[in-house]
Structure 1
């Protein structure tokens, strides 16, 4: 009766993750059963490891300056590597096509003025009963059409690169300009100059590439098995260049070539030490995720829907319940109440488990 009571008591779980019964096993017995122990490790799947990454320019921080009209570049004021401010003149383009656009605008402007005067005159005549309603409506329609043509011509000039101030000053008395100044659309650095002074260019031909270089993005390729551990907001470092930032996206698209996970970080500190297109090594700080431990899969013993490992003690082994977070080919990441200096059985686990389940003797 006492034998069964001892056996049942030995298999009862106490509160927490620690199991009640220890396995008494001498070193000689461990050796004869092929039991080998090894220290547990911290979760090193992502932490304390460096991953290949590429520096890229964030979306919205890069602009291509293109030729708004075909023509001749007679002046270029900046070159690659220079810093520019938004609105700064960077080049001058002479364009015969621009003269035609200005002519069309001035004609539309004149027609609109005439239509406005005619509408004002017929409005007064209609009030006095001199003209019929039909004539007034025809005059009003002509004015609306002229206004629409003027708006269209003004918009065409804007698309051609002419500023609103220049359009406002354009009149038959001031004459027409044969060229226009191209300005920087954003503040930043000129990364590329694609043309030279004196070159003839076509409409929409790229001239400059300008980008704001702070902050920058870091495109990281990490092991696919790390997906359960990464989340937005985690700290990221580029140790060799003393740059840092945080994860802003975990992209659920796997690289087919090497089956890696695509992560994106924003570098906010030390971005001036990095250059777009540069390849670096990045580290990810797992934060609270680093509390997990790494154990060989051979160390896991299954007990129903539970998993446990056997921690070495002076007398033998103590079974400890663990929560399996992730499993790879030969490694598992677990959550358990370890201090961090324990040694666990990595071979001969079946023999220990059999002894534990049969605790009580013959």
Structure 2
């Protein structure tokens, strides 16, 4: 957006009580502060679900407890598991019988005492029986039995009525969704386990500040002493807040940063391209979704569009087409805003 000349002479400026202050060139990086909420990266969450219908016999861990991969966290008893083992042993017996029939058919065919068609039928029956065994074996592993336990079942023919459910990975138990004595259905959630390092912070960045941050920008949490970087910047704007969600990845600083914590995040903005200036905070105004400053000129005042990089109660860091000896209005800006509004129809 182009700068606009305002028709105000020196007498009019003095009468309106408009004051001016010098600008300062900013030669270092600046920090932007945004509110955020700590969250767990989705890839670090694991939901442990019931592999089969049954009764919870024992719960071995509690919320907020550290678990290791493979550690038993819950034990359950399941009639459906017993039935699946019976079906597997029955499929094994059928497969053994089909293999015996195939051997006899091969012998008879070699002696020219069996038609080739009957041999092919025996071969197909043996293959089908093997597929059925593999299917029933896979069902047992889906129900939580290990390969070693399946081998033991095949060797001893002793049914196992209970199943120990292990932690799929090391982490912290975030929540428990069941208790001893409860009956659960297949795929019903039992535990939620998470790794808590690193963590994410979801930042709410106003759309007017979006151009100031970029992927990889350093971030810090002053209250917790943690550091990280911008991982992702959203592409949609929330209509209610006119903000964009950006995600920063941070370290946990030995547990000082926890999921759900509301934090203030500082994003370091390096000076790149174009001149950056520091002006009094009261010098920057908003008009028609654009930030402006009013620059004193020999023949009046010029309204200059600016990009605000950061601001606090005292001053603001801006990017604008200014000169080192420029003066910007810092008080009595209402008449200048009125003159700026008049230029909208020009």
For the aligned pair, the TM-score class normalised by the smaller chain equals 0.7 to 0.9
Corresponding residue of 2:82: 99
How many residue pairs are counted as aligned between the two chains? 310
The one-character-per-residue Cα deviations of 1:91-118 (angstroms, maximum 9, x if unpaired) are 1111111110100111111112222233
Please state if 1:182 is matched with 2:171. Answer: no
| Per-residue deviation, 1:131 | 2.0
1:292 to 265, 270, 276: 276
- 1:81 matches 2:64: yes
Task: State whether structure 2 residue 260 is matched by structure 1 residue 277.
Answer: yes
Say which is worse superposed, 277-286 or 127-136, in terms of deviation: 127-136
Distance 2:243 2:148 in 1: 53
Unaligned runs of 5+ in 2: 1-8, 287-291, 311-315, 337-346
Structure 1: 5+ residue stretches without partners: 1-24, 300-306, 350-362
Instruction: Determine which of 95, 107, 112 is the counterpart of 1:129.
Output: 112
Q: CA RMSD in A?
A: 3.8
| Cα distance, 1:58–1:327 mapped onto 2, change above 3 Å | closer
SS at structure 1 position matched to 2:249 = strand
> How far does the alpha carbon of each residue in 1:316-339 deviate from its partner, in whole angstroms, 9 at most, with x for none?
79x99x8955699xx994245766
State the Cα distance separating 1:283 from its structure 2 match: 1.1
2:20 and 2:100 map into 1 onto residues whose CA distance is 100
Contact 2:36 2:201 in 1 (8 A): yes
| Paired position in structure 2 for 1:67 | 50
C-alpha separation between the residues in 2 aligned to 1:200 and 1:40?
71
Distance 1:269 1:112, change over 3 A: same
Normalising by structure 1, we get a TM-score of: 0.73
Structure 2 residue matching 1:273: 3-state secondary structure: coil
| Aligned equivalents of 1:150, 1:70: Cα separation in 2 | 22
Match of 1:196 in 2: 179
Partner of 2:339: none
Counterpart of 1:171 in structure 2 is 154
User: Is the radius of gyration larger for structure 1 or structure 2?
Assistant: 1
Give the drift of 1:152. Answer: 1.7
Change (3 A) 1:41 1:55: farther
User: Could you tell me whether the CA contact under 8 Å between 2:145 and 2:163 is conserved in 1?
Assistant: yes
Rounded to whole Å, the distance in 2 between the matches of 1:195 and 1:254 is 39
Looking at structure 2, the residues matched to 56 and 42 of structure 1 have their Cα atoms a distance apart, in angstroms, of 38
Is the aligned partner of 1:334 residue 2:319?
Answer: yes
Separation (CA, whole Å) in 2 of partners of 1:150 and 1:136: 21
Q: Residue by residue, what CA displacement relative to the aligned partner does 1:9-43 show, whole Å, maximum 9, x if unpaired?
A: xxxxxxxxxxxxxxxx9x99974796631243788
1:344 lines up with 2:328 in the alignment: yes
| 3-state SS, counterpart of residue 225 of structure 1 | helix
**8 Å contact from structure 1 (residues 323, 334) kept in 2:** no
- Once the two structures are superposed, residues 256-297 of structure 1 have per-residue CA deviations (whole angstroms, 9 ceiling, x without a partner) of 332211110111352621111121111111123596336646
Q: CA deviation at 1:165?
A: 2.0
